[in-house]
Structures are given as structure tokens and as C-alpha cells.
Amino acid sequence: MFQAAQGIPGLPDLTHPNELMQFASQVVKASLVLALLVAVLGIAIALVSFSLKRDEPEQAIFIGDWVVRYSLLLRGLQHLALVLILLVGGFFLCSTLGNRYHHWEQARVAQVAQSVAGERLEQSAPQVRYVIQEPYTYDKYVDGKTVRVRENRDISRQLTLTGSQVQVGIDQISDPQQKGRSIYRVDFSGDYQVTNKLNETQQFFFEVPPPNGYSLLQSFKVERDGTRLQQKNPGDYGFPFRLQPGEETKFRVTYKATGGPRWVYNANGQLLSNFRLSALANFPGADFASGIVPTEGPKAEGQGTRFTWVFDDNVSVLNPFGVFTATETITNTGIIPRLLLLAPGVFLWWVLLLYLSLPMSMKNVAIAGGVFFASLLALTYMSRIMNAPLSWTLLSIVLLTLAWGLGASKRASLAAVICTIAGAVMPILGLLVPITGLTLSLAGLLCAVWLAVRNWYGFFNLNQDTR
């Protein structure tokens, strides 16, 4: 059974009611503490100003200077509080989206795995067994004396098959018990040759069990030289026969079975000689299992694919080999959750770059933050249906178009666009593409060059009026 898809452990998710209530209580506490500090500082300055209002003019000038600085501090705190609110709110938004996206990726992987999950149809190679008498001795006590006893015991030995010719036709059908899952319908035919290589006539047992993992087995037949062999006891698939020294005989095993979404042949550690297995998979997406590469093929045949294993000389195959359905490759998982976790840091860097490049009002900061996190929200859902870098490229056009409105003049608008490219577009793109380090390095270099040109050389004389 597959476990239910889970989010990223330890990451806050505001879709959970308990975490939402905990977050709201912490925001209320932090707001009360900040308001209390501002109020205490303002009351302290007001009391000092009132107590010294009749003193000398120098002291009045000193108090007035503190009042002006306090006013500037309050204005700076307003911007800082707004940035912190956007940063904290954006972090919880991104963590929630990261959890949801991780949950979606896990569910997608589980769905693909579930489509080919289940027991495999495994056919074991037949075994030819014979019994010999082997003498052995042991000691026992009789009337207080040790007596050595010599007896014979039966020992089972294996005779190697001298030839195996196996033909398998595999069709893929829908599982009637589970929607979205595919199973196999197998038509099996195996011809086996047995030669008595012993120096005496021997009684043998041809043991060929039915496949493991089937849900339906039909027309299971074992024939010797064209004569059908009857099963004597339920569950006993051993068929006795006798051969003279050097004599050979042939067996044929046929059946139709329905079962799991993979069919394999298990040699059980036997040496395979004059062996040929040809499997025709009549469905798309078939591939060879267990890494045992076919000696011939895979070859397209009709609407399916044929896999052929031929071993003329002795060979031992440890793992079962056969055919399975190759599922779609799920790549680039975990990229969007990682991006969302780092997005608040990118936003902070972008806002800092804007503050160092052009005048920013609180209204513009709030709008810029909303546009940035709205773009990430759109990226999260667009990347589910299309390539993530392409999605961000399309969203970047919208982001840059809106960033043009941050400037009060053409030069200021151009500066805002440059800041957005270096501080937001390129870092996000760098977290989406394989060359992350190179892209982030170029973005950092562009930011440094822009700040140096803007503040040291004065190439951009911006209009100080903001919108």
C-alpha cells in the first residue's frame, strides 16, 4: 500500500486551522509589543519637551531636534513595518504554496506508481528431479552401548534442461477492480527438452509450477511428446517419467493467465543452455525488466514490441527477467517548493534594491509586494500545466510592465525595470533552471554594477517626485 501524500515536514501551512490560529495570535502579540514601544518612546519625548519648555533656548533646540528625529524615525518605521508585513505574509503564503505543491507532486508520483503497482506474474523454469540412494552412518545407544548403524537414504538431485524454447504474448488490459491501473493478460507456451545424461535408467519428475501472482489461470496443460499429462493430486505439479541412458524427451507447457502489470521468467539459479525466450508485448511503453538486456531487439512488431533472449551456451541469470510497462518519467521535482521557500528572501533583496535606486512611497511598496507574490502564486499553478521557466518568462513580461509604473519619470521607470530584472526576474529564473549558480551570479553582478552606476557616477538623475 502506498502512503498518502504528505506536505513538507515542519513547514507552516495556513490551510491547517490550528496553524492559522497560532499565526494570528503571534501577529496580535507582535503588533501590541510594537505599538507599546512606539507609544512609550513618544510619551517620553513629550514629557521631556513639556518639562523643559520654559528652560533656555539651547535646551529647547535640543528637544526640538529630538522631536524631528522621532518623526523621521516614525516614518522609517512605517516603511519597515510595511516591508515586514509583506515579508512575513509572503513567507506564510509561500510556505503554504510550497506545501500544497509538494503534496501535489507526491500525489502525482503515487498515482503513476499505483498505475503499475501490484504483484508480478512470475513463471519459474521447470525442474527435472530424480532420487538416488545414498549410504550414511550414524550412532545410537542400545542397552547402554554405542552401536554404529549403516542405512540408505533418499537424496533429490536436479537434471539440467538441455533445451528451452519459450513464446509469450502479452496484452495490457484495465484492472476491473481498480480504476486507472493496468494488468497483463499472458499467453504462455514453453517447449522443454530433457536428456538422460546418467549412466543408468532413471525415474524422473518433471516439475513445472503455475505462474505466481495470477488472478486468473486458464487452460494450464502439460504435454509429453504430444500426450497430455494428467495431474494426480491437487497442488502437485510433478509429473513422473522414465528415460534410458542418453534418451531424450520433450515437454510442452501452455496456459493463459491474467495478473500483475509485469511478467518475468525466473531461472531459479539454473544453468540455461539452448535457451530462447521471445516475448511480444502488444502495447506501447513496454520495456525489458531487471536490467537483463535482450540479445535481440527490442524490435517493433505491429503495434507492439518483441523482446528476445537467446543463450546458446551455459549461462546463469540471477534475477528474473521479462517485460514491464515503463511509466512516464517524472523529473524536476522539488524545484518549485525550493523556489517558494527562498522567494521571501528574493523579495527583500528586490525591495532593498528599489529603495537604493529610486524614491519609494508606501503605496508603491505595497503594490510591488502584491504584484510579486501574485506572480509567484500564478507561477505555482501555471507550472502544473506547462514548463516552469516558460511560465516565469510570460509572468516576467507582466511584472516588468507593471514595474514601469514605479517611476515618476522615464528615467525612474527605466531604473525600476532594471532593478526588477536584476533583483526579481533573474533570481527567480535562476532557481528554476539547471544553471542556478551561474544565473544567480550574473544577477548579483548586475545588481552591483547598477548600484555603482546609479549612486557613484550619477548617470541617472531621477525625478524626486513619486507617483
Query: Does 301 lie in the same domain as 217?
Result: yes
Q: What is the pLDDT of residue 322?
A: 86
Residue of 208, 200, 182, 163 whose CA lies nearest to 118: 182
| Region class of 118: left (phi > 0), else alpha (psi between -120 and 50), else beta | left
Residue of 308, 279, 281, 277 whose CA lies nearest to 295: 308
Residue ending a domain, choose from 279, 306, 325: 325
Residue 7 lies in a domain: no
- If one compares 349 and 332, the residue with the highest pLDDT of the two is 349
Residue of 35, 36, 65, 38 whose CA lies nearest to 49: 65
Residue 467 lies in a domain: no
Query: Does 301 lie in the same domain as 163?
Result: yes
| pTM over cut 0.75 | no
Query: Does 284 lie in the same domain as 377?
Result: no
Residue 61 lies in a domain: yes
**Which band of pLDDT confidence, cut at 50, 70 and 90, is reported for residue 3?**
very low
Mean pLDDT of the chain: 81
Residue 466 lies in a domain: no
SS3 of 300, please? strand
Which cell numbers in the block locate residue 125?
Answer: 523454469
Instruction: Please compute the mean of the pLDDT values over residues 337-360 and round it to a whole number.
Output: 89
Burial 353-371, CB ≥16 within 10 A → b, else e: bbeebbbbeeebbeebbeb
Mean pLDDT is highest, among 27-41, 63-77, 298-312, for: 298-312
Q: Are 210 and 237 in contact (CB under 8 A)?
A: yes
Sequential DSSP letters for 416-458: HHHHHIIIIIHHHHHTTSS-HHHHHHHHHHHHHHHHHIIIII-
Assess whether pLDDT exceeds 60 at residue 8: no
Q: Are 195 and 123 in contact (CB under 8 A)?
A: no
**Which band of pLDDT confidence, cut at 50, 70 and 90, is reported for residue 46?**
low
Instruction: Please compute the mean of the pLDDT values over residues 107-123 and round it to a whole number.
Output: 72
Residue ending a domain, choose from 293, 325, 357: 325
Residue 5 lies in a domain: no
Query: Does 364 lie in the same domain as 252?
Result: no
**Which band of pLDDT confidence, cut at 50, 70 and 90, is reported for residue 130?**
confident
Q: Among 61-70, 182-191, 240-249, 294-303, whose mean pLDDT is lowest?
A: 61-70
Mean pLDDT is highest, among 55-59, 362-366, 454-458, for: 362-366
Count how many Cα atoms sit within 13 Å of the Cα of residue 445 in the half-sphere of its side chain: 6
Percent residues over pLDDT 70 in the chain? 80
Query: Does 293 lie in the same domain as 163?
Result: yes
**Which band of pLDDT confidence, cut at 50, 70 and 90, is reported for residue 465?**
very low
Give the C-alpha separation, 104 to 111, whole Å.
10
Residue 465 lies in a domain: no
Instruction: Please compute the mean of the pLDDT values over residues 427-435 and round it to a whole number.
Output: 90
Which cell numbers in the block locate residue 68?
Answer: 524631528
In the beta sheet, which residues pair with residue 109? none
Which cell numbers in the block locate residue 6?
Answer: 504528505
Which cell numbers in the block locate residue 79?
Answer: 516603511
- If one compares 271 and 70, the residue with the highest pLDDT of the two is 271
CATH of the domain at 271: 2.60.40
Q: What is the pLDDT of residue 420?
A: 92
Give the C-alpha separation, 370 to 248, whole Å.
84
Give the C-alpha separation, 366 to 346, whole Å.
16
Query: Does 348 lie in the same domain as 318?
Result: no
DSSP alpha helix (H) spans, 52-118: 57-115
Residue 393 lies in a domain: yes
**Which residues neighbour 411 within 8 Å (Cβ) at sequence distance 6 or greater?**
460, 461, 462, 463
Query: Does 207 lie in the same domain as 305?
Result: yes
Assess whether pLDDT exceeds 60 at residue 103: yes
pLDDT digits (tens, 9 = 90+) for 138-152: 777 777 777 777 877
**Which band of pLDDT confidence, cut at 50, 70 and 90, is reported for residue 4?**
very low
Query: Does 86 lie in the same domain as 179?
Result: no
Instruction: Please compute the mean of the pLDDT values over residues 408-435 and round it to a whole number.
Output: 89
Query: Does 336 lie in the same domain as 307?
Result: no
pLDDT digits (tens, 9 = 90+) for 246-270: 899 999 999 999 988 888 999 887 8
Q: What is the DSSP letter of 209?
A: P
Name the helix (H) or strand (E) containing 29: helix 17-51
**Which band of pLDDT confidence, cut at 50, 70 and 90, is reported for residue 198?**
confident
Assess whether pLDDT exceeds 70 at residue 12: no
Assess whether pLDDT exceeds 50 at residue 467: no
Give the C-alpha separation, 212 to 460, whole Å.
77
Q: Are 432 and 395 in contact (CB under 8 A)?
A: no
pLDDT digits (tens, 9 = 90+) for 432-460: 988 888 988 999 899 888 888 887 876 66
Instruction: Please compute the mean of the pLDDT values over residues 125-135 and round it to a whole number.
Output: 85
Domain that holds residue 351: 17-114+332-457
Q: What is the DSSP letter of 178?
A: S
Give the C-alpha separation, 326 to 122, whole Å.
18
Instruction: Please compute the mean of the pLDDT values over residues 408-436 and round it to a whole number.
Output: 89
Q: What is the pLDDT of residue 236?
A: 79
Q: What is the DSSP letter of 212?
A: B
Q: What is the pLDDT of residue 24?
A: 61
Q: What is the DSSP letter of 208?
A: -
Assess whether pLDDT exceeds 90 at residue 421: yes
Query: Does 223 lie in the same domain as 337?
Result: no
Residue 213 lies in a domain: yes
Residue ending a domain, choose from 325, 357, 379: 325
Q: What is the DSSP letter of 356?
A: T
**Which band of pLDDT confidence, cut at 50, 70 and 90, is reported for residue 52?**
low
Query: Does 278 lie in the same domain as 130?
Result: yes
Query: Does 156 lie in the same domain as 79?
Result: no
Count structural domains, the chain: 2
